[in-house]
């Protein structure tokens, strides 16, 4: 059987073009988010340990120096809390929450595109299927049920290939979108707990 990727795409018809674009975009986002959402880039283990071991009433200069040298999401949030230490506790919490929302937006960047691809991949495949069936019936209508082997084969190939391609794109896109979304939720909850612990220690005896 002579089969190749080029032949597969060629027989899939015009709807293979947007499907190919979706597949490339999905792959790029999956790889980029996989790198961006590495734990070391989100929660620096040293910073987390420093927050957990910070003694109540201790001046956080060492912690401030540590986060100044780090670019993880947790470090930016800790730095925000330390920068607003001269403000009342409620104002500090508001500042940290604002920065946290910004961090979540950065973490979720590109996931909406992955979610859209998850939805439109099967739809484009279905559209290609319908297009293939239309071609089949057009060939039958124009020349009857005689020797229509080539036309039927072309229509069936377009129908099946686009369906397969749409599912091949949608399934991994859905898997990675779900995985990355859950990972962001988990990391956000962990950072929220650490920041709550830090602010609690910093304002333990301040009364504000």
Q: Please work out, in degrees rounded to the nearest 5, the angle formed at the alpha carbon of residue 36 by the alpha carbons of 197 and 96.
A: 30
Q: How far is CA 96 from CA 66, 92, 121, in A?
A: 18, 6, 38
Q: What is the pLDDT of residue 57?
A: 75
**Does any domain span residue 6?**
no
Q: Which of 28-32, 64-68, 83-87, 155-159 has the lowest mean pLDDT?
A: 155-159
**Does any domain span residue 207?**
no
Contacts from 196-202 at CB under 8 Å and sequence distance 24+?
Answer: 197/51, 197/52, 198/51, 198/54, 198/78, 198/81, 199/81, 199/89, 199/92, 199/93, 199/96, 201/54, 201/55, 201/56, 201/58, 202/60, 202/81, 202/85, 202/92
**Does any domain span residue 4?**
no
The total number of structural domains in the chain stands at: 1
CB atoms within 10 A of CB 185: 12
What are the tens digits of pLDDT across the range 153-197?
A: 566 666 778 888 889 999 999 999 999 999 999 999 999 999 999
Q: Which of 80-84, 117-121, 153-157, 201-205 has the lowest mean pLDDT?
A: 153-157
* Domain containing residue 15: 11-202
**Does any domain span residue 1?**
no
**Does any domain span residue 5?**
no
**Does any domain span residue 3?**
no
Question: Which has more pLDDT, 9 or 106?
Answer: 106
């Amino acid at each position: 059987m002579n089969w190749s990727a080029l032949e597969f795409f060629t027989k899939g018809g015009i709807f293979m073009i947007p499907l190919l674009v979706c597949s490339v975009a999905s792959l790029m986002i999956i790889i980029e988010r996989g790198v961006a959402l590495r734990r070391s880039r989100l929660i620096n283990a040293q910073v987390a340990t420093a927050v957990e071991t910070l003694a109540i009433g201790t001046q956080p200069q060492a912690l401030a120096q540590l986060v100044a040298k780090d670019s993880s999401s947790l470090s930016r949030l800790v730095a925000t809390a330390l920068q607003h230490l001269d403000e009342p506790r409620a104002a500090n919490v508001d500042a940290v929450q604002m920065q946290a929302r910004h961090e979540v937006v950065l973490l979720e960047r590109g996931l909406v595109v992955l979610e859209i691809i998850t939805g439109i991949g099967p739809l484009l495949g279905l559209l290609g299927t319908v297009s293939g069936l239309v071609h089949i019936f057009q060939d039958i209508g124009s020349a009857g049920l005689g020797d229509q082997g080539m036309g039927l084969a072309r229509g069936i190939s377009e129908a099946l290939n686009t369906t397969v391609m749409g599912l091949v794109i949608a399934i991994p896109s859905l898997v990675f979108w779900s995985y990355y979304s859950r990972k962001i939720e988990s990391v956000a909850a962990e950072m929220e707990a650490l920041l709550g612990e830090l602010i609690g220690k910093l304002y333990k005896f301040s009364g504000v």
